[in-house]
Structure 1
Amino acid sequence: MGEQQPKRVKKHICLGILAHVDAGKTTLSESMLYTGGNIRKLGRVDHQDAFLDTYELERERGITIFSKQAVISWKDLDITLLDTPGHVDFSAEMERTLQVLNYAILVISGADGVQGHTMTLWRLLKQYRIPVFLFINKMDQEGTDRESILKELKKRLSDGCVDFTSLDDLGSADDAWLENLAVCDEDMLEEYLETGGAAPSTVIRAVAGRKVFPCYFGSALRLEGVEGLMEGLRRFTVCADYPEEFGAKVYKIARDEQGSRLTYLKVTGGVLRVKDVLPGMEEKVNQIRIYSGAKYEAVQEVAAGGVCAVTGLGTTYPGQGIGAERATDMFVLEPVLTYQIQLPQGCDVHKMLKNLRQLEEEEPQLHIVWEEQLGEIHAQLMGEVQIEILKSIIRERFGVDVEFGTGNIVYKETIEFPVEGVGHFEPLRHYAEVHLLLEPGERGTGLQFAAECSEDILDRNWQRLILTHLEEKEHKGVLTGAPVTDMKITLITGRAHLKHTEGGDFRQATYRAVRQGLKKAKSILLEPWYEFRLEVPQSCIGRAMADIQRMQGRFEHPGTEGELSILTGTAPVSEMRGYQTELLSYTGGQGRMFCSLKGYEACHNADEVIEAAAYDSESDPDNPTGSVFCAHGAGFIVKWDQVEEYMHVESGWKSDTEVNDPVNVSRENRSVSRIELTQEELDAIYRKTPDPVRKKWNTSPVTIRAKEKGAPDPKWEERQNEKQKQEEYLLVDGYNIIFAWDELKELAEVNIEGARDKLMDILCNYQGYKKCTLILVFDAYKVEGNPGEVIKYHNIYVVYTKEAETADQYIEKTVRKMGRKYAVTVATSDALEQVIILGQGAQRLSAAGLKEEVELMLQEIRREFLGRGPEERNYLFDYLSKELSDEMEAVRLGDRTKE
């Protein structure tokens, strides 16, 4: 028996197909599947039977909405094919797919040439460094000319575009073709000059290095040129090298027909197996699916380079890096219009918001936002087609018919100069201070975060927590409340307390530091700009130029192509909306406009937009600009422009302005207004700090001066008397108190109802002594369909909140209504809740403070009532002198004998 030959391992690549809408992208995918023998029947988009159009709306409209996966085999090449949406409105879905591609095919219609969206795709492929093959489709149509199209490709895309259509073998290629190929890359040119040819390995490296872009001309519908394209993919691609350490990149979230959550990912290192617990996550892989069209094969493992869908993961998101793989920080394409989602009458807003959050998992660019003050749900969308599709999906999945309001421009904000932001959060028994350096970044870079703080000053764990809080939130600007962007935020210093700092304290301090810095900075309002290309008859070029100037746009010197004049430039999206219709009107239907999003630039009418927004940055309860400090046992708010006078940590950052400005220098020298505390001093303060609403139980009158310095306020006592006459209310956060009192917490672990009943009885006794109106609030928001309930229990009121309303929300709502009219106290140890109710005019009482009051109340009751006998009696010893009393006691004890 002869020696057995080793089995040849197939090469595998992950290949994406991209195109402008109607270029024939899905048709090419269908033809490749058919040519590779993976499907027996060649489907067509217009016949609504394409293999990869698995969604009913895609078949109806003839467009791709969601990216699809298919598996193709061609000789010794295995291809995981990812078909992406071509319509501009779904370009975000396309961009997410780019994260996992080894190569891409860019499909161009021979009849239409390079479109505006084609240029956007080309820039994205360059940014993601993806090697590209081009397929020029529909060459069977009249008027298509290969030479002119190739010339346009070289001019508008790259000189590296080379026609590979007729290439059978590199060794037999003519000199003119080889010369055109060689000039694309220095190494290839040097090889050509030395040998007169080009080795396949050299061409493979040039293609992988994006120096050469093989072009294939044909007709996907007629299967012309498709086999040549697939052969080119087999010969001029190379399989990537992957590390042994496990890594994966998530690029899509979806749900199957049964509603199971699917995480689409590419394994970028190691092996993924069923039942694996993914690194950095506490979730386990239940099933691994390899999809091809609507069908899938369940497998036990996927090696590096493989693309699959996984069930069992509930917290993944597009762009996430797992294991050794890094996350994608931000995407290039994003919506520039925001719409109000209008719900039908009687629709449950909270339930619908939850459903829309589910859609946001699948399409993160929706940016579903609940506008509390307006009571509206807003979403960011690309355009009208996406709106129609989204309405259909919501109707099909959730059974609700929604409408969308008029679209508004999505603005953003940034800063012009570096500035330091300080945030301090110190309600009673909490402590955190954060100093951040905010620096402007280049346009389009988004937000970047870093830490340049010594671990001797702030522990590494606290620093990581601060960076996490910076990344977890979309920070609002102070001009219009728009998201901030193009900025680097660096942690430069901070302080924690050994005993009283919790993670949530740094969240508050971090948020406030960002906002305080923005208030100090010179902010710039940004708006989205289009990059456009206008093709108009030469007689209309003057009108087109005047229109662009009127729209505050900019353009290059106009050129000509045949009988048409070409105008390229940039203009604000807000001004160009609807211009397509105007263009068609004045050009008699001969004008064409191609637009792609260029990015964000300074707003051309910032003052007008800011005035219309009417945003008050200091009245935004969810994004405070000031800080919270503590003095005399109570927290108090310090406005943003006074925070530096109270801050505990001296900043090491000095701007150029501060160094050269004598006013700022003199301010720094005024150390009397700066509070500098050591850790020992902080500990001493907390040891001596009483509860903020601890009651004085003695009955003697207490005189309190209105001010420590200066003349007393004559009206102060009058105001205090008026307040004492007000009706008193005490709101108690039930479960917060239960889990803060040890005896109730122990009981709750055995029987939560017993703990509730015991607290109710305790508070009944307490109310009888205090004579106030006592409202005990329990969370019941997790009970589906719960309408809420208020019951009278003896002499107190017990409230069970309705569905989707927490006890905190109920208390805040009640305090807002009653805080200015009545004397309201809230009993809770929730620090954030305490700060909020203080701002609404109520007093706060911690769980420990309430317990102490209850115990003092019981002592007072025992002293006044239980200590007395059944009737008043006179005792001899009560009226004797001390000397006589002592002598009588000695006689009673037998220490002295009667003489």
Structure 2
Amino acid sequence: MSRQIEKIRNIGIIAHIDAGKTTVTERMLFLSGAKHRVGEVDKGTTETDSDPEEQQRGITIYAACVTFNWKDVIINLLDTPGHVDFTAEVERCLRVLDGAVVVFSAREGVEAQSETVWRQADRYKVPRVAFVNKLDREGANFEAVVGQISDRLHGNPLVIEIPVGQGPPHTSNPFRGVIDLIDLKFLTFPTDRDSRDVNIGEIPEDMQLEAQAWREQMLEKLYSYSNELMELALEEKPIPSDLIRKALREATLAMQVQPVLCGSALHGIGVQPVLDAVQYYLPSPVDLPPVEGESVGEKNKKTITRKASNDEPMCGLVFKVLPAKTGDIHWVRVYSGVLKSNSRVLNPGKDLKENVAQLWQIHAQKKDKDGQVDSIEAGDIVGVIGMRQSITGDTICDTREPILLETIKFPETVISMAIEPENSTERKKLNDTLDMLKRQDPTLHVVSGETGQTLISGMGELHLEVMKNRLLRDFALNVKFHKPQVSYRETIDHAVEVVGECHRMIAGQQLFAKVRIKMEPVQGAASPVTVLNFSPVDGVPPELMTAAVEELKAAGEGGGHIAGFPLIKIRVSVLGGEWNPEQTDIRAMKIAASDAFEKGLEQGGKVLLEPIMKLDIVTPDDYHGDFVGDLQRRRAIIARTDNRGTLTTIEAHAPLKELFGYSSAMRSLSQGRASCSMEPLMYAPAPPEVVKTFEM
């Protein structure tokens, strides 16, 4: 399937929950002609929220992809979840996208998950435009949101549209359209839901001075990025719209500015200009630097690049798997070359070959009979049927020209729930189903215990609740669920140096070895145990020391001494060892290394770590005191409070253990008028009373 690569836009819609992402997507599909009617989130009729759970809750849980044309460009659009429990869906999409539209609510402004998705977009260097939505709501404040993008997100918002009026129809100055600052025109949109028209008129007299001031502000910023604009301004010559768009595109692609537009997606106001902004300012695959990867099968790894061109060897990244009994559908972003159906590709990370039986254009959760294609070219996104071993984050590439792209990293799980099948038949069904769900959701961790219980871990209460509902509703499993539990971690308190020894008789042979290590706690993120080899070159032979290092790494993946929870925040440095030719072999070194690790844990002081969550609460001022009191009872630290008109925002850091069922408590504290979001922040030492519950 041939598409001009310069005309492709791989974009995502990202935002905090309830900012209106799915409504924006629906309106885009309708305006492009891909849909004949606008779906509604509240009625469960949207194209991208096709899962029953999404329709029932009115939220996006699974990223969905839709492809449509807008004027001269082809848009592959991914609608992503806003709830922090499903942040992995955003993570995987931003890894493969070229640009993003970040949606903000004009009433709530920059919220907790807005910050998370903005940071993710920064990390993957994704250029973006901002859309301030819901300007027809009570309390809408366009300027405040622009200020928050700058202050809280450290962005560089460049306003290219301003609203005419703000608030609902019954107010004195209702929102009724937008002013395009580039062409200096007033855009209004018919109230008929099924209209695709834009009425272009002159700016109302009472808005002309304000529009001129905003335009000057826009141009002042752009002068820094364009010599052509600066020269015209110094010569006091008129500045053509095309030149403004050119300068704005260059600055956006360089991630120096983020164009800001505004509107109300629910009422069809201002979405056509957002689509135009996607066309004008967001990159095509050729506008971005070549993708980088590692060489494969060489001792000294070197960096390889692939341009977004059909002439390059094929490489792509699997970023989502939709499991199905008939054969999984792998969503693949093709970075270079041409991927053909009925072909074989290499998965270099697993060193195996995969069959590409069929290629499908992705359209939400549906497979359109006309959507099957013979090939897909560089820069595009496709659904692949036929691969069996590849999972999210895996590279696929030309078998003759291997390259390993950077994988996708996901956050650690913080909460677990035990499941018990009723009988052995149900156990097999449960294991098969969980294997399928794990392929779809990389943040779902499953551990089968010897007691007959299976432990599933996820990103939060809602994540586990959705999994529970799927097991019962979609797969009709006869299983019993236990209460969710906190996922603790363990570490050590202080640095120690220890010597592990092996003095054993095994199968009539006397074994001897010593391994000396330094074990120390490290600050920062919840990193796994790292093992570094500083042993002298002229000491223990390399092959024996390698065995010791591997044993230490394996020990680091095990549990601690308090309750067997995973170990984190520990660095192990191998300082040296002792050996002799007659009695030292690989077994002896492994035994000594294992002994050293155990001694290090014991002597380093046991520390239980509990997950701390970052809460962002938005409440009417009247309930501020009630929330602060309740949070203090939950061992929370209040990090920040801000006033937004009649609302107060509270940022607090609290242990997850104290936050089970918090959404119900929040509703009763505020009579249902407050909202809250939480995300994992860090692991911190648990208090003695929590530790005692595991030592009893």
Instruction: Report the TM-score, using the length of structure 1 for normalisation.
Output: 0.59
Question: 1:331 maps to what in 2?
Answer: 410
Q: Could you say which residue in structure 2 is the equivalent of 1:268? A: 335
Is residue 319 from structure 1 mapped to residue 389 from structure 2 by the alignment? no
Provide Cα deviations, 1:125-182, integer angstroms capped at 9, x if missing partner. 3333322222222333454343344344444334522332367585879764455446
The RMSD of aligned alpha carbons is: 4.1
Equivalent position to 2:361, from 276, 286, 290? 290
One-letter amino acid of the structure 2 residue matched with residue 594 of structure 1? C
Match of 1:161 in 2: 157
Distance change in 2, residues 1:216/1:437 (3 Å): farther
- 1:550 corresponds to: 633
Map residues 446-595 of structure 1 onto 2, 5 A cutoff. 446-447=527-528, 448=530, 451=533, 459=542, 463=546, 470=553, 474-489=557-572, 514-536=597-619, 538=621, 540-556=623-639, 558-590=641-673, 592-595=674-677
- Tell me if 1:94 matches 2:90: yes
Post-superposition offset of 1:478 = 2.4
Q: Following the alignment from structure 1 to structure 2, what is the Cα–Cα distance between the partners of residues 486 and 402?
A: 36
Residue by residue over 1:587-629, the C-alpha shift from the partner in whole angstroms, topping out at 9 and shown as x without a partner, is 4555x25332242232341x222221239xxxxxxxxxxxxxx
Change (3 A) 1:396 1:407: closer
Query: Quick one: distance in 2 between partners of 1:593 and 1:199?
Result: 40
- Larger helix fraction of residues: 1
**Offset at 1:530?**
2.3
Distance change (3 Å), C-alpha of 1:338 and 1:583: same
Q: Distance in 1 between matches of 2:214 and 2:404?
A: 41
Given the superposition, is the C-alpha separation of residues 596 and 395 from structure 1 closer, same or farther in structure 2, using an over 3 Å criterion?
Answer: closer
C-alpha distance in 2 between matches for 1:417 and 1:479: 16
Indicate the structure (1 or 2) with the bigger Cα radius of gyration: 1
Question: For residues 344-371 of structure 1, what are the alpha-carbon distances to aligned partners after superposition, in whole Å with 9 as ceiling and x for unaligned?
Answer: 3565435533432332222232211122
1:230, distance to aligned residue in structure 2 (A): 1.1
Partner of residue 441, structure 1:
522
Letter of the 1:305 counterpart: G
* Counterpart residue number, 2:492: 415
1:438 deviation in Å? 4.3
- Partner SS, residue 130 of structure 2: strand
Question: Which one of the candidate residues 363, 373, 383 is aligned to 1:299?
Answer: 373
1:470–1:511 contact (8 Å) kept in structure 2: no
Relative to structure 1, the CA distance from residue 493 to residue 327 in structure 2 (aligned partners, 3 Å threshold; closer, same or farther) is: farther
Q: CA deviation at 1:399?
A: 3.4
**Alignment map for 1:325-724 (pairs within 5 Å):** 325-328=404-407, 330-332=409-411, 334-344=412-422, 347-349=425-427, 352-372=430-450, 374-395=451-472, 398-419=475-496, 427-428=506-507, 438-444=519-525, 446-447=527-528, 448=530, 451=533, 459=542, 463=546, 470=553, 474-489=557-572, 514-536=597-619, 538=621, 540-556=623-639, 558-590=641-673, 592-605=674-687, 607-614=688-695
TM-score after normalising by structure 2: 0.74
Three-state SS of the structure 2 residue aligned to 1:97 is: helix
SS in 2 for 1:210: coil
Hey, what's the Cα distance between the residues in 1 that align with 2:137 and 2:472? 40
3-state SS, counterpart of residue 48 of structure 1: coil
**Contact in 2 for aligned 1:96/1:251 (Cα 8 Å):** yes
Q: Which runs of 5 or more residues in structure 2 are unaligned?
A: 162-177, 186-210, 234-238, 291-305, 307-311, 397-401
Change (3 A) 1:504 1:363: farther
* Residue matched to 2:384: 310
Query: Do the aligned residues in 1 keep the contact of 2:418 with 2:453 (CA within 8 Å)?
Result: yes
User: Is it true that 1:233 corresponds to 2:274 in the alignment?
Assistant: no
Give the residue type in structure 1 aligned to 2:689.
E
Q: 1:474 to 1:25 in 2, by over 3 A?
A: farther
Task: State the SS of the aligned residue for 2:225.
Answer: helix
The count of residues paired between Structure 1 and Structure 2 equals 604
Q: Please, which moves more after superposition, 300-309 or 234-243? A: 300-309
SS at match of 2:274: helix
Aligned-residue sequence identity (percent) comes to: 27
Q: In structure 2, what is the Cα distance between the partners aligned to 1:491 and 1:498?
A: 21
Deviation at 1:228, TM superposition (A): 0.5
* Cα deviations by residue, 1:542-563 (Å, 9 ceiling, x for unpaired): 4443443333322246443334
Q: Partner of 2:75: helix, strand, or coil?
A: strand
1:565/1:85 Cα in 2 relative to 1: closer, same or farther (>3 Å)?
Answer: closer
1:80 Cα deviation from its structure 2 partner: 1.7
Q: Is the 8 A contact 1:532 1:593 kept in 2?
A: no
Q: Which of the pair has the greater relative contact order for Cα pairs under 8 Å at 6+ separation?
A: 2
Separation (CA, whole Å) in 1 of partners of 2:672 and 2:6: 52
Cα deviation for residue 44 of structure 1 reads 3.0
Superposed CA deviations along residues 195-244 of structure 1, whole A, max 9, x for unmatched, are: 53775454334323433222221222333212101111111122324314
**Equivalent AA in structure 2 for residue 601 of structure 1:** Y
Deviation at 1:463, TM superposition (A): 4.3
The 3-state SS of whatever aligns with 1:364 is coil
Q: Distance in 1 between matches of 2:649 and 2:354?
A: 56
What SS does the corresponding residue of 1:278 show, helix, strand or coil?
strand
Matches within 5 A, 1:712-791: none
Range moving further from structure 2, 225-234 or 455-464: 455-464
For residue 683 of structure 2, give the secondary structure of its aligned residue in structure 1: strand
Q: Secondary structure at the match of 2:265?
A: coil
Q: Is residue 18–residue 84 contact of structure 1 (8 Å, CA) maintained in 2?
A: yes
Q: Does 1:259 align with 2:330?
A: no
Q: Within 1, Cα distance between the matches of 2:552 and 2:28?
A: 47
For 1:360 and 1:502, the matched residues in 2 are separated by 39
The answer on 1:71 being equivalent to 2:67 is yes
Q: Secondary structure at the match of 1:292?
A: coil
1:836 alignment counterpart = none
Answer whether contact 1:444 1:599 (CA < 8 A) is retained.
Answer: no
Structure 1 pair 330–184 and aligned structure 2 pair: CA distance change class (3 A): farther
Report the secondary structure of 1:250's partner residue. strand
Measure how far apart 1:494 and its partner are.
Answer: 7.3
Match of 2:346 among 278, 284, 291: 278
Counterpart secondary structure, 2:46:
coil
Alignment of 1:204-223 (within 5 A): 204-223=249-268
Measure how far apart 1:301 and its partner are: 3.7
Whole-angstrom CA distance in 1 between matches of 2:373 and 2:594: 45
CA distance in 2: counterparts of 1:387 and 1:78, whole angstroms: 37
Q: Quick one: structure 1 residues 501 and 186, their matched pair in 2 at CA, closer, same or farther if it must change by over 3 Å?
A: farther
Measured in 2, the distance between the counterparts of 1:502 and 1:238 equals 57
After superposition, the C-alpha distances for 1:800-824 in whole angstroms (9 at most, x for unaligned) are xxxxxxxxxxxxxxxxxxxxxxxxx
Q: How far is the alpha carbon of 1:434 from its aligned partner? A: 6.8
Q: Structure 1's 546 and 471: CA in aligned 2 closer, same or farther, altered over 3 A?
A: same
Q: Which residue of 2 aligns with 1:44?
A: 40
1:774 — aligned with what?
Answer: none
Say whether the 8 Å CA contact 2:413–2:458 is kept in structure 1.
yes
C-alpha change, 1:408 and 1:506, in structure 2 (3 Å) is farther
1:834-845 to 2 correspondence within 5 Å?
none
SS in structure 2 opposite 1:609? helix
